[in-house]
Amino acid sequence: TTIKNTTGKIDNTFVTIDNLSFKIDEDVFSGNGNIHNLTTNPLINAKLKGTLNLANLTKAYPVKLDNDLSGILKANLQTKFDVNAIKNNIINRIKNNGTVQINDFLYSSNDIVNSINIKKSKVNFTPEKISLDEFQAYTGNSDIDATGQINNLLGFLLSDKKLQGTFNVASSNFHISDFMEENSEEVQKKQTSETSSKSSLKIPAFLDCKINANAKNVFYDNLTLSNVKGTLWLKDQKATFKNIKAGVFNGQVSLNGEVDTKKERPTFSMKLGVDSFDISQSFNAMDLLQSLSPIAGSMNGKLNSDISLSGSLNDDFTPNLKTISGKALAHLLDTKIDPKKTKALSLFDGKLSFIDMTKLNLSDIKTKLSFENGKVSVAPFKLKYKDIGINIGGSHGFDQSVNYNLILDVPAKYLGSEVSGLLSKLNKKDQNMSVPVTAKITGNMSSPSVQTDLTSSASKLTQQLIKQQKENLVNNTIGNLLGGSKKDSTKKSSKDIKKEAVNKVKDAFGGLFGKKKKK
């Protein structure tokens, strides 16, 4: 290496590196280059070529590394640029040519859950771009295959520029747990003692990348998503999801939205499209869906839904249910209920003998929900059980509190033998009359209270029917008396007619209630 200045001016000082070469075991690495304009706008021209077994570095040089290195590095690279061109991204003054390959590179660290094994990787440098031609890696039970393009690697490395690029990432099996620490007691104690003041995980501010993802299987907690496809943007400490689609719960889900990690507590805003979800599977597997509809776990059938929601995230990037707000439209398809799986429905089923919850058909039922501050409000919706109309509405909380009102339009024939007996005395039109019955479900899902006004409704209807019977009997009797022969009617006074009508009404009601007239 030589440092020269032929003019005496400091600006004309330059550095020349001739025939840089070293050999470790059987590996040879060489290079040369020069640097001009040291004090103004450094101009760099360099060339590197060779093969290096990274595991041999510590054997040849007394370098203490935090983690052992292994793998084979191959480089054949020439680069020429000036620093201002890097800072201002002036492409025509940045010349790169060549390739860099790393194979069988094993990286492990205390900062990652599993070691990363890069089986193959190849980066190709051209004057126009830097392309990732090949990348195959494994970590834990996950495999990753990627290609892509990096737009300003030198700007990122030398001038605090954002790392920009577009990547296509594929995987046969991608386990989220391979990239996240288990929430064990030991880990929690360690995090408490070492990082008690540490803020939540942040998306690096230097990333400005577009990732086109395609995964055959994605595993997260107890969920398995199949054929996951979509686009992920990482920019300004945000992750933006566009047209993410996947198969799950024997149906399909689509996702658009973003996660923002700029603030101390990460936030999210999402739109979910649900198509033909298996209701029982999905609501039993996802805490969020359980909170939106606690009784859905007792349903068997399919669900279509559009859900918009926003809120903040916990440290493990799961939604903080207390902060969630949004709305949903749910459409039930070919759905039945098993009341035994939910205490509230089981109690309700026992209160009304004329309704069999297992035969309640919820097909093609549409409901609207809104949720905020831990409370879910369900707009009133209607359904039918045989000839009984049912109107349902109310609210419940993420804390399992519940407050629902049901109004049933119950045909009078279901309200007991006494009512049925009275109905048989009426004409056909009056026999089809119905009465509103109100039911309330309150308390919480583990110990709910179900109350109805069925008894009082039946009593009121009985009084109404008796009154109507009286009126009908009086009217019929008077009609019969007035409709007799002229000869007879002229012989009777109005007092006699009224007295006779009252006596006939008494006789009729005596028979109706089982009383005999004394003679």
Long-range CB contacts (< 8 A, 24+ apart) of 289-295?
A: 291/321, 291/376, 291/398, 292/328, 292/369, 292/371, 292/376, 293/330, 293/369, 293/376, 294/342, 294/396, 294/400, 294/402, 294/445, 295/342, 295/344, 295/345
Q: What is the pLDDT at residue 416?
A: 62
Provide the 3-class DSSP secondary structure of residue 430: helix
Residue 494 parent element (H or E): helix 494-512
pLDDT value of position 9: 78
Question: What CA–CA distances, in Å, run from 142 to 173, 176, 483?
Answer: 5, 9, 95
Strands 402-411 and 434-443, how do they pair? antiparallel
Tens digit of each residue's pLDDT, the chain (519 residues): 687 777 777 777 888 888 878 788 788 888 899 988 888 888 999 998 999 888 887 776 666 767 777 899 999 999 998 888 888 878 788 888 999 999 999 887 776 778 889 999 999 998 778 899 999 999 999 999 999 998 877 778 777 788 889 999 999 999 988 876 554 444 444 444 444 444 567 888 889 999 999 999 999 878 899 999 999 999 999 999 999 999 999 999 999 999 999 988 899 999 999 999 999 889 888 888 888 888 887 888 999 999 999 999 988 778 888 899 999 999 998 888 888 888 888 887 777 888 888 888 888 899 999 999 889 999 999 999 989 999 999 999 988 899 999 999 888 777 665 555 655 655 566 556 778 889 999 998 888 898 888 777 767 776 776 776 666 666 666 666 666 544 454 445 555 544 554 454 444 444 433 444 444
Q: What is the pTM of this model?
A: 0.74
Q: State the Cα–Cα distance between residues 129 and 155, nearest whole angstrom.
A: 13
Extended strands (E) in 313-433? 325-337, 365-372, 375-385, 388-397, 402-411
> Which structure tokens are listed for 440?
């309330």
Q: What is the pLDDT of residue 509?
A: 40
CA distances from 320 to 265, 287, 314 (A): 11, 11, 6
pLDDT at 512: 38
Q: Which pLDDT score is estimated for 104?
A: 94
Angle at which helices 454-482 and 417-424 cross, to 10°: 20
Q: How far is CA 133 from CA 12, 80, 94, 140, 156, in A?
A: 40, 22, 20, 24, 20
